[in-house]
């Protein structure tokens, strides 16, 4: 993480712009990506819990899919 | 029971100081007579005129009991209270004795054990009890000819054992009335349950309701009311005869009846109503998740962007389909089901179908993902609901994030490609949801630009930011230094943010106003 560029800022801006049909202010994408990181954290954490519950080794597609709806609902503004 | 024998008590009252003497006399006399003398001595007031009528005597007894309750020391008072507590049991015992008269074996068995438990809590001296027991039995044997007297015998002996039992006698009489009420209440409970039981009435009520609403304007409503026979009050009113009253009252009373039924049978009525809501609420996520995946899988071949279709269909579950229909001609057919989330029937049917076919769907989805993954390796172009093309987040970034978080969350960092695809989908959906939310916030603030304030409002509504966790803390925890510096770049804005975040919940409108 430290060595890399964390994320392509332009890409995030484009994505949000396309979905919201709004322009994104200069540094808002940082906060947006921060929110996305929190979402990912939640998603992965829940998925790993679900995987453990299901007796799976690592995080699998099943566990992620099972958890996706909940974590998305949690991050619904 | 004891009252009948009371007039005989006049002579023994004065002499009855010792329980032993009482017992001997009790052998010769009726047991009820012995209690009184004790009771009189125990209660503060000694004068209950023997010539008084039974009602007056009962009144004296109540007064005496009250005085005794006031003046008796704590220990005796506790006893009296205990008796009060035990009184329902005593009632049952007495009832059992009365009922047991007719069957001989039960009489002996019930009387003997019934005596001992009564003695144990209430008696001061155990020796008296032991001595009393055999006497008691002898009584029963002697009096077998007189069946009705047996319960009297057993009861008086219990009272004889208690030195302060005289107070208790009136207590029982007092308590009997009260307890009758209690028993009546206790009896009413099942009645309510029965009334609830025909909870079918609820549905009937609803139908009646509709009938009445339809016929409120019409005079025919009365007839419906009579037919349905909804509640006694209506019928009573009608019987009383004024149809005008009935006309006026019927709709109101029906409404009242509804409300009353609602109050009375809280469980009955509310449960089904809530169940509908609950099913809708609880089921929703499943409904969203499972059926949502079906349509895109079948429709995917038509569309190059796989994830778009899925994301759109997923949001369709939320009820935001309208835009999707505009963009995608083919999807609406598959998503018609999603268009009506309000109908519980559809949801339930979907639920069952979704649960049954969920595994199959997943397999389909996985296959489709594999297919899509191959396509996704190439440069993919997604189209948002606004018709704007946008790139997808690079997989490497997402994977790095996911692996980091997986490590921190305790799982191994390894994430299968299938899981990676699922995470990519989830992030796609997340960004679409986030874009819509941010759009709503910025539009609400009258802006056409998404500000950091909007994002912070969103995060606060997501409960990621609260008085304990400031956005800056989150950022410093997760973001590298360069991005943090970018965040700090506009000092005024950020200071405002931080202050507000630390102050706690600030209404979004306020904040937006201040920012603009």
Could B448 and A22 be called an inter-chain contact, meaning their C-beta atoms sit closer than 8 Å? yes
The number of C-beta contacts closer than 8 angstroms across A and B is 235
Helix axes B19-28, B31-42, angle to 10 degrees: 150
pLDDT band of A20, cuts 50, 70, 90: very high
Give B119-146 as a DSSP string.
HHHH-S-HHHHHHHHHHHHHHHHHGGG-
The predicted structure's pLDDT at residue B4: 43
Q: What average pLDDT does the segment A38-42 reach?
A: 93
Nearest to A34 among B389, B423, B475 (CB): B475
Q: Profile chain B (516 residues) by mean pLDDT over runs of 10 residues.
A: 42 43 46 45 51 86 84 60 65 84 59 44 42 45 53 56 48 49 52 47 46 44 42 43 42 43 42 43 42 42 42 40 40 40 44 49 65 57 87 90 86 82 92 93 93 90 89 86 73 48 43 39
pLDDT band of A70, cuts 50, 70, 90: very high
CA distance B373 to B418: 9
- CA of residue B306 relative to chain centroid, distance: 46
Q: Is the CB of B365 inside 8 Å of chain A's CB atoms?
A: yes
Could A20 and B451 be called an inter-chain contact, meaning their C-beta atoms sit closer than 8 Å? no
The predicted structure's pLDDT at residue B408: 85
pLDDT band of A13, cuts 50, 70, 90: very high
Nearest to A44 among B366, B405, B443 (CB): B405
Asked if B215 and B221 count as a contact pair (C-beta separation under 8 A), the reply is yes
Could B479 and A34 be called an inter-chain contact, meaning their C-beta atoms sit closer than 8 Å? yes
CA distance B333 to B295: 9
The predicted structure's pLDDT at residue A3: 61
Could A68 and B422 be called an inter-chain contact, meaning their C-beta atoms sit closer than 8 Å? yes
Q: Reduce the DSSP state of residue B460 to 3 states and report it.
A: helix
Q: Which residues of B touch A72 (CB under 8 A)?
A: 314, 426, 429-430, 433
Burial class (CB in 10 A: 0-12, 13-18, 19+), B485: exposed
The predicted structure's pLDDT at residue B219: 45
Cβ neighbours around B409 below 10 Å, total: 16
The predicted structure's pLDDT at residue B472: 85
Q: Is the ipTM of this complex over 0.90?
A: yes
Asked if B41 and B169 count as a contact pair (C-beta separation under 8 A), the reply is no
The predicted structure's pLDDT at residue A6: 86
Residue A35 predicted with pLDDT over 90: yes
Residue A71 predicted with pLDDT over 90: yes
The predicted structure's pLDDT at residue B149: 56
Asked if A43 and A64 count as a contact pair (C-beta separation under 8 A), the reply is yes
Could B439 and A20 be called an inter-chain contact, meaning their C-beta atoms sit closer than 8 Å? yes
């Amino acid at each position: 993480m430290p060595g890399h560029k964390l994320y392509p800022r332009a890409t995030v801006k484009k994505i949000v712009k396309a979905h919201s049909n709004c322009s994104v202010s200069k540094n808002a994408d940082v906060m947006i990506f921060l929110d996305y990181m929190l979402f990912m954290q939640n998603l992965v954490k829940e998925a790993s819990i679900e995987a453990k519950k299901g007796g799976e080794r690592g995080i699998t597609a099943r566990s992620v899919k099972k958890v996706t709806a909940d974590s998305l609902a949690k991050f619904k503004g | 029971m004891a009252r009948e024998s009371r007039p005989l008590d006049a002579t023994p009252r004065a002499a009855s100081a010792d329980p032993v003497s009482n017992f001997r006399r009790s052998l010769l006399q009726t047991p009820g007579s012995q209690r009184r003398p004790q009771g009189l001595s125990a209660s503060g007031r000694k004068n209950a005129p023997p010539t008084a009528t039974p009602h007056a005597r009962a009144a004296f007894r109540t007064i005496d009991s009250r005085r005794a309750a006031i003046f008796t020391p704590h220990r005796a008072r506790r006893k009296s209270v205990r008796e009060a507590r035990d009184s329902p049991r005593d009632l049952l015992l007495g009832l059992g004795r009365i009922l047991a008269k007719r069957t001989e074996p039960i009489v002996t068995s019930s009387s003997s054990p019934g005596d001992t438990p009564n003695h144990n809590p209430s008696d001061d001296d155990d020796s008296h009890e032991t001595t009393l027991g055999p006497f008691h039995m002898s009584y029963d044997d002697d009096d077998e000819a007189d069946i009705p007297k047996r319960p009297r015998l057993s009861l008086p002996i219990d009272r004889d054992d208690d030195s302060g039992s005289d107070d208790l006698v009136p207590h029982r009489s007092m308590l009997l009335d009260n307890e009758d009420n209690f028993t009546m209440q206790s009896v009413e409970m099942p009645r309510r349950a029965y009334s609830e039981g025909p909870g079918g009435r609820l549905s009937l009520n609803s139908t009646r309701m509709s009938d009445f609403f339809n016929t409120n304007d019409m005079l025919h409503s009365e007839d419906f009311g009579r037919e349905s026979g909804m509640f006694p009050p209506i019928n009573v009113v009608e019987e009383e005869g004024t149809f005008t009253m009935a006309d006026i009252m019927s709709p109101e009373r029906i409404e009242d009846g509804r409300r009353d039924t609602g109050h009375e049978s809280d469980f009955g009525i509310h449960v089904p109503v809530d169940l509908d809501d609950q099913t809708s609420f609880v089921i929703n996520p499943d409904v969203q998740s499972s059926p949502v995946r079906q349509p895109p899988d079948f429709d995917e071949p038509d569309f190059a962007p796989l994830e778009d279709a899925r994301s759109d269909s997923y949001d369709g579950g939320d009820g935001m389909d309208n835009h999707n229909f505009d963009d995608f001609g083919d999807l609406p057919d598959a998503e018609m089901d999603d268009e009506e989330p309000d109908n519980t029937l559809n949801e339930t049917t979907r639920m069952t179908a979704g649960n049954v076919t969920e595994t199959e769907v997943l397999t389909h989805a996985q296959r489709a993902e594999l297919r899509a993954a191959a396509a996704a390796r190439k440069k993919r172009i997604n189209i948002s609901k606004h018709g704007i093309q946008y790139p997808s987040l690079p997989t490497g970034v997402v994977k790095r994030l996911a692996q980091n978080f997986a490590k921190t969350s305790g799982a191994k960092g390894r994430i299968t490609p299938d899981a990676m695809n699922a995470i990519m989908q989830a992030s796609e959906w997340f960004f679409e949801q986030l874009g819509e939310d941010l759009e709503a916030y910025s539009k609400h603030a009258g802006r056409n630009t998404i500000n950091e304030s909007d994002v912070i409002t969103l995060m606060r509504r997501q409960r990621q930011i609260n008085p304990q966790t400031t956005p800056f803390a989150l950022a410093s925890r997760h973001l590298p230094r360069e991005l943090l510096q970018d965040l700090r770049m506009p000092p005024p804005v950020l200071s405002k943010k931080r202050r507000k975040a630390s102050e706690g919940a600030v209404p979004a409108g306020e904040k937006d106003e201040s920012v603009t």
